[in-house]
Amino acid sequence: MRRNGTKLARVCLLAGAMGIFFWSAGRAPATAPPGGHEDPGREAAAPYQSEIGRRGGRLVAALRSEPKTLNPLFAADAPSREVIGLMQADLVHINRASQLTEPALASSWKVSPDGLQYTLELREGLRFSDGHPVDADDILFTFQVLLDESVHSPQRDLLIVGGKPIAIEKRGPRTLVFRLARPYGAEERLFDGLNILPRHLLETPYREGKLAQCWTLAVRAAEIAGLGPFRFKEFAAGERLVLERNPYYWKTDAAGNRLPYVDEVVFLFVPSADAQVLRFRAGETDMITRLSAENFSALARALPDAVMADAGPGLEYNFVFFNLNEPGEKTPAVQARRQKWFREVKFRQAVSAAVDREAIVRLVYQGRGAALWGLVTPGNPRWLDATLPRPARSLDRARELLRAAGFSWKTGSTGESQLLDADGTPVEFSLLTSASSLERTKMATLIQDDLKQLGMRVQLAPLEFRSLLDRVFQTKEYDACVLGLASFDADPNTDINVLLSSGAQHLWNPGQARPATPWEAEIDRLMEQQLAARSFQERKRLYDRVQEILAEYQPMIFLASPHILAGAKRSVGNFHPAVLEPYILWNADELFLRATGEKPAP
Amino acid sequence: MRPAPGGSPRHRVFVWLVALAVLHALVVFAGVISPYAPEEQDRDHAYAPPTRIHWIDSRGGFHPRPFIRPWLPLEGGLGEFAEDPAQQIPLRFLVAGAPYRLLGVIPCRLHLFATEGARISLLGTDGYGRDQFSRLLYGGQISLLAGWLAAALALLGGTIIGTAAGFLGGWADDALMRVAELFLALPWLYLLFALRAFLPLAVSPLQAFFLVVGVIGAVGWARPARLVRGVVLSAKERDFVRAARGFGASEGYLLRRHVLPETASVLLTQAAILVPQYILAEVTLSFLGLGVPEPAPSWGNLLASLQQYSVLASYWWMCLPAVIMVPFFLGYLGLASALQAWTGPVKIAGGGSGSAE
Amino acid sequence: MRYLLRRALHALLLLFGVSLLAFMFAAMAPGNYLDEMRLNPQIAPETISALRAQYGMDRPFPVRYLRWLGSVLRGEWGFSFAYNRPVASLLVVRARNTLLLAATATALAWLLALPLGVWSAERAGHWPDRLVSAGSAALLVIPELVLALGLLILAVRSGWFPAGGLESLGSGSLSAGRKIADLARHLTLPVAALVLSSIPLLIRHVRAAVAEVLGSGFLWAAEAHGISRRRLLWRHALPAAANPLISLFGFSLGGLLSGSLIVEVVMSWPGLGPLLLEAILTRDLYVVIGCVLLSTLFLVGGNLAADLLLYWADPRIRWEGPEP
């Protein structure tokens, strides 16, 4: 894999991995959710205005598994990131509602005209949650640790831009300069999620090479500090994690009250989605997210008094892709023959034309989803290519395409029609899905039936998630696969390693030494250009072109994107789910609990 | 169908056998009895409740031939339907319909009942609008076969190894029983993951499923083996066996004539317990992605769909297949105890009885 | 005494065999813990190879196994990739919770299965017998997960029991008596689910064992002596049927961990179940092996306990030097 000098795609494979047994996995994060509750008009998106809240109280939420670590340098799993998100802060932050950047620990920043130098001004009077003051040296320390190769922080590669590590320099007690080797398209979004660490607590372990053993779940409250709204209080293995209000938090509300409002946030570990629903129903948790459409409607029926919010389509996109890898010596002959069909553009176009996306939205998401023809979902209006063609399902067109590619039909013994390739071999292939993702298995079942009408015989192969990944990335023994990806951010750079032919996540043929097809070469070129482009309009124009190429060559046949569905008790103030992760706790510092009997503001 | 309390054991076995035969006939002739192919989708009627059968029309007139009214989807959410009062679709019996293969071979189109113009689903439909009744019957074919296959393999292995251990005794017995303990303690979950990795995807998923079932059955020998060994041990020491040995009977003769027959009732009881257990094991297998893959139906995946809160809470008819499966399980258990009573009580020497799990 | 020593030696051998095989299977299962990182475009391949080396995943199988054995001897039981901590420290608290749940459930299941089994054996063919066998057949059909979920739904609708967890929030400030009551309330549902799912087979075995004894001559004789029916059943028939039941009891102790896995996950009981399940799915190798080993330990312990019971209950064994 080639290193991209970019904020590498922060894309997470939405594993159905988490959806442990049969309950479906969580969903992806989201974008600007609209203000409304109860099925808010997706377009309406009234800008989020927070209400002045009331101090005190305890907020209870559920996590589907324990966080594995509280150390932001090593956190890779979603529960850890979610908890750390409440305990730590970054220099510049992406507002989950507006999807735009806003000042965080840095009160302001300037970008030099050539786009290579960022000057950040640190906020005054910052203190860590243990009361220790923050200065520029903490920032220097943080980036030193992040960039240290012997630390092995997964975030290190974010800071390699244009093949070189970002250089940091202290210009004054509160002024820092970051130098990049090459302009970076997404600009200050780079800083989101890079948490500033307390030098006074971590420097000694760092010198001793023991950083990885710091801030595990065995940590004591005195040993851990951050700049987020909450700080660690206690952890009960397998049961819960309790955070308490950080009295030194730097943010205030419009009336000048110091945030956050609530005294404690409790995370209960509830490993199954259904159990999460039931605990919310029983009133044991205050908020719930990552709801499936079925559970969402079941809850809405059962709890007329709760606020059930549909934030609209998230950033998760589900798709089918075919195995377009170069057949090697060990590739079985059957698979090599099938791959010949898959490499035929018209074959993929025919499959795309035959897929009933509307049925997927209706049957898989109960209408709480959006049909997709490209990887940018309607949840990301800024980057959505509105001119992308959205052809309706057409079996006729699919048949035409297949005929043009040399396929033909014969009638089988019980009267069903069977598609044959140019050599007379029946078209038959397997479709992988993650066994633990109910939704994707359902999509695959619908696709199988759609393609049966074209005479293709598709066999479903639901596999446990790691086994599926192993086939797609290691052994490359598969025909086709249904998968979902959820971008962490709305910026196209998030998905860069899916799109670049050299990318490790270029699913259909990952890590190519040089582009296998002209259109992949063209996408590579466009993506590199947009990375260096300096204006949004220019980047958008280039990225739209990428989406058009994808729509034409169909390496990924896009299916649908689910809405972000969440719920809260009516007493939770400022509840405003976003379509970016963390859907409901992104504004944890502003969430508050109304006094009993108090009516929510209109 | 219940045997009379006072009926002779033989009589009871017979009654249970007949009951089970009737039940199995339903499954074997699924093609005739079910109105549709199990994988046929009706996307406009996902999660439709069971079709109601009417004899009386809206004006109070009685129809000797029952009729149905089609479900009209209501706005707002799946699973909300109302009957169309304007339509009356009569039920028709023994008509030609979707083609299928009877017993897997004979091409056939005859269906016990059908309706024209709207679909009839006696047990409602699932999330794809597929007829649950048809899926239940067809699913039985796969599940019962899998259950038998696995149970047969487990018992075969168990008998051979258990007999060997009990009959040979000494260090061979010791070694075999240690291996049995090992097999009981092993984490099979891992083996199954590994197994699927070795199977090429070119193997059709249904074949793969049967392979997995075969393996599960084959590694399930440990428990029956312990039981058989116990029986063999005690049979070996029975007076008539000692007597026969005293008269110079060969070991092979003893084994065949006196020892093995003693194990029959233990094996039968085990079979009756194992068959339902292996049928249900598929629920777990589907979690591992090793179950019967969609769209093929099986009892395991019919039950697995109940494992969601929303289904249990919103679509009660999805539970009906489980209710209908109970008689099958009851039949096996009943047959087992009747057989046990008939063949006479078994002496189980010291050793571990049974499959606790 | 020699007998017990031999059993202990067997147990040790068994543990060794299981650990070796578990290790092999784990090596055979597709994918490893770092796979997910491989997918994460933030992480460079070099970082991953460095981690591989750090975790010792690049070492050959025997080396890894020996290292792991060493760490077992040190009491660490290997190292969890995900948690960055020794496995033993993860297992201890959770094993305690699992034992609490499973032991309560096992005790209760046996307390119910014994009378029900004896009762239906005595009334073989009559309606109590049929009722019990129909009920247990129905319970057999319901997968454990559906059972647990159904109970949860019931609990939530009625509001009688908490919908999961081990203690209420803020229970730390309660008095000891209140704490125990709180724990009992939280135990009720998972215990009920476990009991309901394990009891059908227990009843069947008790029934079979007692029915067998009931047909034997000494009981006819006893009855002819005018010993009351109840006394006959409980004082004579049940002890005579005890041997296979004691072995079964040993087994059911062994099945504790695997049996409670699903219930723990659904009821969010902070035991080994959720930990193991996640470890399997993320291929957190040593956590999985640790759990497997622990469950083998339970099995061995159960069998050993059963042996001791038999030794105590059945004088024949004491001098025959038995083979259970």
A393-439 tens-digit pLDDT: 999 999 999 999 999 999 877 678 899 999 999 999 999 998 888 89
Per CB-CB distance under 8 Å, the chain B contacts of C244 are: 348, 351-354
What is the residue-wise DSSP string for B13-51?
HHHHHHHHHHHHHHHHTHHHHSSS-TT---GGGTTPPPP
Which residues fall within 8 angstroms of residue A517, CB to CB, at 6 or more apart? A553
* B64-120 confidence digits (pLDDT tens): 888 988 888 887 656 688 888 888 888 888 888 888 888 777 888 888 988 888 889
| C-alpha separations of B161 from B151, B173, B284 in Å | 15, 9, 27
Compute φ and ψ for C45, nearest 5 degrees. -55, -35
pLDDT at B2: 39
Does position A4 have pLDDT exceeding 50, yes or no? no
Give the gap in angstroms from C-alpha B256 to the nearest C-alpha of chain C.
24
Segment of A195-199, B240-244, C191-195 carrying the highest mean pLDDT: A195-199
Give the gap in angstroms from C-alpha A81 to the nearest C-alpha of chain C.
13
What is the residue-wise DSSP string for A366-429?
TT-EEE-SSSS-TT-TTT--TTS--PPP-HHHHHHHHHHTT-EEEE-TTS-EEEE-TTS-B-EE
* B3-37 confidence digits (pLDDT tens): 344 467 778 888 888 998 999 999 999 888 999 98
- pLDDT, average across residues A377-386: 92
- pLDDT, average across residues B118-137: 91
Q: Where does the pLDDT of residue A244 fall: very low under 50, low under 70, confident under 90, or very high at 90 and above?
A: very high
Instruction: Give dist(CA C191, CA C99) in Å, integer.
Output: 12
Interchain proximity A479–B201, CB inside 8 Å: yes
Interchain proximity B354–C205, CB inside 8 Å: yes
Residue type, B158: G
Interchain proximity B353–C125, CB inside 8 Å: no
- For C21, what's the count of Cα atoms within 13 Å in the CB-facing half-sphere? 20
Interchain proximity A274–B308, CB inside 8 Å: yes
Does position A469 have pLDDT exceeding 80, yes or no? yes
Instruction: For B185, name the nearest residue in chain C, comparing CA atoms only.
Output: C296
- pLDDT, average across residues C280-294: 85
Give the gap in angstroms from C-alpha B58 to the nearest C-alpha of chain C.
37
The DSSP code for A186 is T
Rounded to the nearest 5 degrees, what angle is found at the Cα of B111, between the Cα atoms of B105 and B116? 135
| A-C C-beta contacts closer than 8 Å | 175
Per CB-CB distance under 8 Å, the chain C contacts of A149 are: 50
Residue positions counted in chain B: 357
Structure tokens at C202: 């227990």
3-state secondary structure of B120: coil
Give the gap in angstroms from C-alpha A217 to the nearest C-alpha of chain B.
28
Q: Where does the pLDDT of residue B357 fall: very low under 50, low under 70, confident under 90, or very high at 90 and above?
A: very low
Point out the least confidently predicted range of A39-53, B173-187, C270-284.
A39-53
- pLDDT, average across residues B268-272: 78
Interchain proximity B306–C146, CB inside 8 Å: yes
Residue B138 near residue B38, CB atoms below 8 Å: yes
Q: How far apart are the first and last CA of chain C?
A: 15
Interchain proximity B194–C28, CB inside 8 Å: yes
Residue positions counted in chain C: 324
What is the residue-wise DSSP string for A414-483?
TS-EEEE-TTS-B-EEEEEEETT-HHHHHHHHHHHHHHHTTT-EEEEEEE-HHHHHIIIIII---SEEEE
Which residues fall within 8 angstroms of residue A476, CB to CB, at 6 or more apart? A323, A325, A328, A331
Residue B335 near residue B272, CB atoms below 8 Å: yes
Does position A599 have pLDDT exceeding 90, yes or no? no
Instruction: For B193, name the nearest residue in chain C, comparing CA atoms only.
Output: C29
Does position B242 have pLDDT exceeding 90, yes or no? no
Per CB-CB distance under 8 Å, the chain A contacts of B287 are: 21-22, 435-436
pLDDT at A136: 93
Does position B270 have pLDDT exceeding 70, yes or no? yes
Q: Where does the pLDDT of residue B199 fall: very low under 50, low under 70, confident under 90, or very high at 90 and above?
A: low
Nearest alpha carbon to residue A529 among A509, A546, A553: A546
Burial string for A546-566 (b: 16+ CB within 10 Å, else e) reads: bbebbbebbbbbbbbbbbbbb
3-state secondary structure of A538: helix
pLDDT at C323: 43
Point out the least confidently predicted range of A499-503, B136-140, C52-56, C179-183.
C52-56
Burial class (CB in 10 A: 0-12, 13-18, 19+), B61: exposed
pLDDT at A35: 35
**Kind of pairing, strands A560-568 and A369-371?**
antiparallel
Q: Where does the pLDDT of residue A389 fall: very low under 50, low under 70, confident under 90, or very high at 90 and above?
A: very high
> Which of C133, C136, C251 is facing B352, going by the closest CB pair?
C251
Instruction: Give dist(CA C196, CA C105) in Å, integer.
Output: 9
Does position A558 have pLDDT exceeding 90, yes or no? yes
Nearest alpha carbon to residue B121 among B284, B263, B318, B299: B318
Q: Where does the pLDDT of residue B289 fall: very low under 50, low under 70, confident under 90, or very high at 90 and above?
A: low
Long-range residue pairs from B78-84, CB within 8 A, at least 24 positions apart, any chain: B78/A362, B78/A363, B78/A366, B78/B46, B78/B47, B78/B127, B79/B46, B79/B47, B79/B48, B79/B49, B79/B314, B79/B315, B81/B45, B81/B48, B81/B49, B83/B52
Instruction: Give dist(CA A219, CA A197) in Å, integer.
Output: 16
| A-B C-beta contacts closer than 8 Å | 116
Whole-number percent of chain A with pLDDT over 90: 66
Chains contacting chain B through 3 or more C-beta pairs under 8 A? A, C
Among A357, A436, A439, A463, most B C-beta atoms within 10 A, so best to mutate, is A463
Per CB-CB distance under 8 Å, the chain C contacts of B329 are: 137-138, 140-141
- Per the DSSP assignment, residues forming a β-bridge with A460 are A431
Among A155, A272, A489, most C C-beta atoms within 10 A, so best to mutate, is A272
| C-alpha separations of A538 from A493, A534, B95 in Å | 14, 7, 66
Task: Give the CA diameter of chain B.
Answer: 87
Interchain proximity C35–A270, CB inside 8 Å: no
The residue among A249 and B170 whose pLDDT is bigger is A249
What is the residue-wise DSSP string for C128-170?
HHHHHHHHHHHHHHS-HHHHHHHHHHHHHHH-SS-SS-SS-TT
What average pLDDT does the structure give for chain A?
87
